[in-house]
Amino acid sequence: MTRVYATKVAERVYLLDTYALGVAGTVGAYLVKGPKPALVDCGYSSSYESVLAGLAEVGVMPSEVRYVIPTHVHLDHAGAAGRLLREMPNAEVVAHERALPHLEDPTRLIESSTMVFGRQIMELYGRPDPIPSGRMTAVREESRIDLGDGLTATLMHTPGHAPHQISVTLDNTGVLLTADAVGIVYPGLNALIPTTPPPSFNPSELVASVGRLRQMTPKTLLVPHFGARKDAEWVFGRTTELVSSWVTAVKEMWKQKSTLEKTSERMEETVATDAGVEELPIYAKVSVRTSVMGIMHYLDKNH
Ligand SMILES: [Zn+2]
């Protein structure tokens, strides 16, 4: 089957499918194609060639890219940034100030991924290349960048999923690149999975970030996992609802010393019921397990 790498999802914006671990429709990046092209998120290091293929489909040369914006340092968003920068001599990285040390020295990211997913995982994800500090600019609470031709983007700190996360609005367009502030909805699986991973998920910060984004009343959400959504209100509402109901459910089981496996199975059942399917695909199970793990980790730290 021929792969489609780029799909237009809004005026001047393309969804790039990174085909993470060879699977379509799970990890996306976005290209904003103005006079100063900006790549928002990068996928895993092992899928950098898909990003380059996406740029080629859209007709943007890597040397034209001016901004690379990993919304946070998790490897499905920032993993390929360093590798891509080698092909993009005119690009600077813009990321949250707490993300920069990890992008410069990815040791801790690799440690935390192997802690969550096991030793072999780096063979699948690919090791992130370090990014020289001279090529990075920090975002604190909020920053604006100029994409040319009257188009600007505002980068806002949206912690909760991770303390170093930013979301991006394309000003005056109604388009919001949410990052993982909102839950996962995989194509063909009609249920939302909250994005509550270890090591730094924080429920109240996540809900507050969703509230701030919701107040902006965006018309189009561009979600990394996965794709464009026009039902912003539903996505915000459902994310808020499920973060709190999952924390409550996982906490009940955590108090009874339920294992990660048992708790994950239980939450998988709720997602499968929601979606009206017998069994979840493996990548959705991994997402559920990761989110359960994040909640358990949060409970361990805070009680
Ligand atoms: Zn993600």
What number is the average pLDDT over the span 2-20? Answer: 97
Q: What is the pLDDT of residue 119?
A: 85
CA distance 92 to 292: 35
The structure tokens listed for 179 are 């990052």
Residue 276 CB contacts under 8 Å (≥ 6 apart), including other chains: 190
CA distance 296 to 201: 10
| pLDDT over 90 (residue 112) | no
3-state helix, strand, coil in the chain (%, to 5): 45, 20, 35
> Which amino acid type is present at position 184?
I
Ligand 1 centroid to residue 76 C-alpha, Å: 5
Mean pLDDT of the chain: 97
Where would I find the beta strands (DSSP E) of the chain? Answer: 6-10, 13-17, 28-32, 38-40, 67-69, 92-96, 136-139, 142-148, 151-157, 166-170, 175-177, 220-223, 227-229
Ligand 1 centroid to residue 57 C-alpha, Å: 24
Letter string b/e over residues 90-128, b meaning 16 or more CB atoms within 10 A of that residue's CB: ebbbbbbebbbebbbebeebbebbeebbeeeebeebbbb
Per-residue pLDDT of 264-297, as tens digits, reads: 999 999 999 999 999 999 999 999 999 999 999 9
Ligand 1 centroid to residue 183 C-alpha, Å: 10
Q: Cα–Cα–Cα angle for 208, 244, 190, nearest 5°?
A: 100
| pLDDT over 90 (residue 166) | yes
Q: What is the pLDDT of residue 164?
A: 96
> Which amino acid type is present at position 65?
V
Ligand 1 centroid to residue 102 C-alpha, Å: 16
Q: What is the pLDDT of residue 98?
A: 97
Per-residue pLDDT of 68-107, as tens digits, reads: 999 999 999 999 999 999 999 999 999 999 999 999 999 9
Ligand 1 centroid to residue 90 C-alpha, Å: 26
Cα-to-chain-centroid distance, residue 116: 17
Ligand 1 centroid to residue 291 C-alpha, Å: 11
What number is the average pLDDT over the span 161-187? Answer: 97
Handedness of CA 144, 149, 151, 155 (dihedral sign): negative
What number is the average pLDDT over the span 209-238? Answer: 98
Q: What is the pLDDT of residue 252?
A: 98
The structure tokens listed for 133 are 């500090």
Ligand 1 centroid to residue 255 C-alpha, Å: 28
Domains, the chain, with CATH or none:
6-302 (3.60.15.10)
Partners of 68 in beta bridges: 39, 93
Cα-to-chain-centroid distance, residue 229: 15
Which residue did the predictor score with more confidence, 187 or 303?
187
| pLDDT over 80 (residue 1) | no
pLDDT tier, 116 (very low <50, low <70, confident <90, very high otherwise): confident
Q: What is the pLDDT of residue 118?
A: 86
- Which pTM value belongs to this model? 0.97
CA distance 200 to 162: 6
Ligand 1 centroid to residue 75 C-alpha, Å: 8
